[in-house]
């Protein structure tokens, strides 16, 4: 059974102190209100190709973003008759607190995504906060674009805001189409863009808290030139506090799996780093390393034992990773949150180093590469004699000891399960 944990804030406005206030000038403030409440899609994504210029533009837009306190938001939420403004087609996805529908804006003929929050299921403050963070972050080229305006349906049954539509697939769907995982090059391209978005978020002291393959959208499944992060419903400021309410999934760090109901947790960037490590593994392997980061889960227990050097041999599922990738995974998937890497440190490995070991040994004869198979036969070049080494007495003792330890470990974990 898949594990799913949900977290919510025990309080809201106390921890939302990073938001700039509305302009004090009454005229400017009224103009801002009109812009936010306008029932149309006004803002388009910059067409600048240069990433540096895009980030500069993003920072300029962020400074001009209007953040609304939850107790001021109601008069800025515009009532809209959906049938008059949009042609709504189909449902794209659902979540615990809402759902997303594909629509077309009648005036601009632009296909968009409408994110709905049924009022019986969500508080106004939660809706306003998610819109604030979504719009605040959206100028970054690798974060889903959120258009200006908070709305509610004409019958007041749901809140909603407007985002750009992704016509292709999520990262989860892309991996599922590639048995055994994505290639090293594709993973590098995707992760470079994801890390750019996360470095931007963390530079603003914001933690996503819900990073997973389903929340990474790929706009062109063939070239992977447009990759964007979405869903900021759980985003919180660093050092804010949240209450643990329910349950967690395989993307969450062990400190989240060990909490109890109503326990207060402090938000920090290491939560996102752990999730990024899980997604990195998932991209290259096509499956998750474990169902839950708990010692009661055998695959995780084996990983933790190896990290603590209580087990001398790396679990086999980690063998395909290169030395540098394994270093990255050790630092991202470290049970000690304070020892986890930053996004910048992850980027150095992913952009510059080999991520997977070579599947076969490579030799060169007369400037040609030939590949050694399991029987030590080089195709088209005859046979290479197998190289053997004498095992020392110490080596035999280590192997025998490890076999015994592995057998005992399996018995212990089986007894716990």
Set 210, 215, 249, 334: catalytic member: 210
Under 8 Å between Cβ of 109 and 125: no
CA distance 135 to 36: 11
pLDDT of residue 16: 35
| Nearest alpha-carbon partner for 15 in 238, 265, 263, 256 | 238
Paired tokens of 168: 């292709």
What is the distance of C-alpha 376 from the center of its chain? 42
pLDDT of residue 275: 98
For the chain, domains (ranges, CATH) are 12-164 (3.30.200.20), 177-352 (1.10.510.10)
Paired tokens of 39: 């029932």
Under 8 Å between Cβ of 265 and 244: yes
pLDDT of residue 121: 86
Segments of the chain scoring below 50 in pLDDT: 1-24, 26, 29-49, 63, 66, 359-391, 412-417
- 365 to 126, 134, 268, 284, 370: CA distances (angstroms): 65, 56, 53, 31, 8
What is the distance of C-alpha 344 from the center of its chain? 15
pLDDT of residue 15: 37
pLDDT of residue 127: 95
Paired tokens of 4: 């799913």
- 346 to 97, 239, 326, 330, 408: CA distances (angstroms): 32, 22, 12, 11, 35
Residue numbers in the known binding site for ATP are 115
| Nearest alpha-carbon partner for 257 in 1, 2, 3 | 3
Provide the sign of the torsion angle of the four alpha carbons 69, 206, 95, 35, taken in this order. Answer: positive
CA distance 119 to 127: 9
Name the one residue in this structure whose structure tokens are 């005859």.
382
Q: What pTM value is reported for the model? A: 0.73
pLDDT of residue 62: 53
pLDDT of residue 27: 52
- 210 catalytic residue (yes or no): yes
pLDDT of residue 22: 36
């Amino acid at each position: 059974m898949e594990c799913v944990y949900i977290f919510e804030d025990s309080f809201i406005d106390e921890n939302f102190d990073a938001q700039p206030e509305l302009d004090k000038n009454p005229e400017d403030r009224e103009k801002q209100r009109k812009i936010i409440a306008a029932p149309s899609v006004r803002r388009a994504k910059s067409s600048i190709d240069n990433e540096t210029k895009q980030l500069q533009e993003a920072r300029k837009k962020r400074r001009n973003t209007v953040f609304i306190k939850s107790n001021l938001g109601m008069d800025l939420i515009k009532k809209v008759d959906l049938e008059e403004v949009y042609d709504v087609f189909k449902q794209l996805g659902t979540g615990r607190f809402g759902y997303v529908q594909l629509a077309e804006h009648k005036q601009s003929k632009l296909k968009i995504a409408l994110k709905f929050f049924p009022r019986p299921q969500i508080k106004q403050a939660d809706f306003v906060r998610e819109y604030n963070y979504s719009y605040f972050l959206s100028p970054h080229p690798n974060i889903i674009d959120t258009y200006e305006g908070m709305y509610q349906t004409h019958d007041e049954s749901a809140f909603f805001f407007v985002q750009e539509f992704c016509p292709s697939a999520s990262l989860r769907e892309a991996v599922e189409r590639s048995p055994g995982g994505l290639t090293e090059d594709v993973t590098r391209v995707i992760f470079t863009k994801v890390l750019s978005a996360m470095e931007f978020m963390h530079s603003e002291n914001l933690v996503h808290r819900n990073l997973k393959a389903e929340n990474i959208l790929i706009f062109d499944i063939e070239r992977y030139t447009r990759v964007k992060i979405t869903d900021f419903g759980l985003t919180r400021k660093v050092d804010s506090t949240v209450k643990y309410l329910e349950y967690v999934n395989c993307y969450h760090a062990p400190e989240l799996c060990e909490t109890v109901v109503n326990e207060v947790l402090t938000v920090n960037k290491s939560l996102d780093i752990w999730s990024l490590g899980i997604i990195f593994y998932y991209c290259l392997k096509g499956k998750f390393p474990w169902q839950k980061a708990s010692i009661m889960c055998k695959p995780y227990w084996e990983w933790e034992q190896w990290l603590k050097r209580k087990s001398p041999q790396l679990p086999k599922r980690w063998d395909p990773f290169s030395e540098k990738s394994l270093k990255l995974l050790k630092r991202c998937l470290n049970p000690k949150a304070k020892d986890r890497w930053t996004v910048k440190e992850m980027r150095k490995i992913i952009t510059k180093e080999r991520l997977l070991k070579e599947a076969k040994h490579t030799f060169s004869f007369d400037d040609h590469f030939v590949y050694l198979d399991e029987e030590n036969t080089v195709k088209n070049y005859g046979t290479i004699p197998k190289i053997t080494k004498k095992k020392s007495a110490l080596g035999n003792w280590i192997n025998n000891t490890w076999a015994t330890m592995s057998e005992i470990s399996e018995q212990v974990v089986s007894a716990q399960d």
